[in-house]
Structure 1
Amino acid sequence: MTPADKTDDDPHATLTLHGAADCGAAALRLLEGARRRVRILPQRVDLRYLTDDAVVAALRALLVGSRRARLEMLLPPELARDDLGRPLWDLARRLTSAVTVHRLADEDAQFGEAWLTVDQRGYLYRPQAERLSGQASLDQLPQTRELDQRFEALWLASAPDPDLRRLSL
């Protein structure tokens, strides 16, 4: 990670991300500071870092540690069937009261961006579906608010993902 605007220790800094290691480190920092809500709109390539043991453990710790914590995932249609995402899908199946998973509407299925937001203040954003490069910040309200508003608009047009609603007994 390289700071685009300020130093790496500044929570308001915009970090430039290149590759799975940078994206994973940024996601982990965001999730470790999360208190209430995490929203994820991933693409297949994001599963390389979102299913990392440390990232899944941070999500689990947040969701188990607080009754108010919520995870909302908005998935492209085929992503919920991808075995690469199994750690996330298992988490969604086990913590159904804290995790909600929707599938993008057909008209949004080819959506090419990906992002993660935390508590309406921090974000990780990738503008291109197949390239693991983008930006992140631990504390930038305007950018996070914009991504959350876009997420909400896509969420309203989406539907619960039937593949991830099934409980494995």
Structure 2
Amino acid sequence: MGLPDLRAVRETVFVREQGVPLALEWDELDPHCHHVIARDGNGNPIGTGRLTPDRSIGRMAVLAEWRGRGVGDALLRALIDRGRDLGWPELSLHAQVQAIGFYARHGFLPHGERFQEAGIEHQAMRALLDADNPVGSRAAAIAAALGVIGSARRQLTIYSRELDPGLLDAPEVLEALRRFAVGQGETRILLHDPATPQRTLSPLITLSQRLPSMFAFRAIEEPGDQSYPSAYLANDRGGYYFRPLAGRLEGETCLHAPARARQLKTTFDAVWERSRPCTEYRALGI
């Protein structure tokens, strides 16, 4: 992998497009990094990224005409897999703020305050590879939800008390649920208290009324089920975000835990079968 290929992408994106000074773009770490590069059908470089000796992902860049086509996802997966091959238990990165959701879909959670780097606002993020990642803040909770939703294939299950204000009404989470539904993903939601989100005009109910075939709600009525203290999201690709106490956002998440995700899904399905449909959530005329 030659330096000209790296320059073709990184200087186009970072220096000419984003205005990063050339002197800051290239550093003493580059010769010691693991680099990945994406090419088009003609072999031209279109994207790149690197993994530094201090176990940090960086210099993620994709040419403008190739964005939104899965190139960045492929690059990031390759870097994460390289970290696994090296036996590293954790990876970190500095995400440009507008890219937080992209990294969250791959299991990275924000930590610390935002900061300026090369004149651009950034957020530190990290991920434990194939292990439970602790969730300790609202920002991390939103990222965990984005990860579970964004990595789902066709089915998502949500076990909640009252549609989790502060989490399931966050704009970025609602947008992720909308994209999942538009892509023909089915979301099933179990609720302890369906009346409160209806009374407070939860935006998730409004979204479900626009896409009624992709969302289903049921209300938990059995006394034994009502005593369950926890809440969670789980998907059909081994991802989950579990909160021991439903009234708090603290918990744990992992996008590569199929046994745990199946366990949560089994619990969910049993309660789903004995709960009632929330017909009160249907829009008029549906």
Q: Which has the higher contact order (CA 8 A, sep 6+)?
A: 1
RMSD: 2.0
- Distance in 2 between residues matched to 1:21 and 1:101, nearest whole Å: 26
SS of the equivalent of 1:111 reads coil
2:211 aligns with one of 89, 95, 98: 95
Name the structure where helix makes up a greater proportion of residues. 1
After the TM superposition, which of the residue ranges 107-116 and 149-158 deviates more from structure 2? 107-116
In percent, how many aligned pairs have the same letter?
30
- Distance in 2 between residues matched to 1:39 and 1:82, nearest whole Å: 23
| Match of residue 264 from structure 2 | 147
- Distance in 1 between residues matched to 2:242 and 2:203, nearest whole Å: 22
| Match of residue 30 from structure 1 | 148
Residue 148 of structure 1 deviates from its aligned partner by 0.3
* Paired residues for 1:1-169 under 5 Å: 6-7=89-90, 8-9=126-127, 12-44=130-162, 46-66=164-184, 69-77=185-193, 78-83=195-200, 86-107=202-223, 108-167=225-284
The 1:45–1:39 alpha-carbon spacing in structure 2 relative to 1, beyond 3 Å, is closer
| Mapped contact 2:157–2:233 kept (Cα < 8 A) | yes
**Can you list the C-alpha shifts for 1:64-91, whole angstroms capped at 9, x where unaligned?**
123xx100000113344252x6111111
Residue 126 of structure 1 deviates from its aligned partner by 0.5
SS of the equivalent of 1:31 reads helix
| Match of residue 3 from structure 1 | none
- Distance in 2 between residues matched to 1:49 and 1:146, nearest whole Å: 23
Please tell me the residue identity of whatever aligns with 2:244: P
Kindly report structure 1 stretches of 4+ aligned residues shifted beyond 3 Å. 8-11, 166-169
The 1:168–1:27 alpha-carbon spacing in structure 2 relative to 1, beyond 3 Å, is farther
Please tell me the residue identity of whatever aligns with 1:53: P
Structure of larger gyration radius: 2
How many residue pairs match? The answer is 161
Give the gaps of 5 or more residues in structure 1. 1-5
Please tell me the residue identity of whatever aligns with 2:262: R
In the superposition, the TM-score normalised over structure 1's length comes to 0.85
Give the gaps of 5 or more residues in structure 2. 1-88, 91-125
| Mapped contact 1:120–1:148 kept (Cα < 8 A) | no
Residue 132 of structure 1 deviates from its aligned partner by 1.8
SS of the equivalent of 2:167 reads helix
Residue 13 of structure 1 deviates from its aligned partner by 2.4
| Mapped contact 1:39–1:72 kept (Cα < 8 A) | yes
Residue 35 of structure 1 deviates from its aligned partner by 2.1
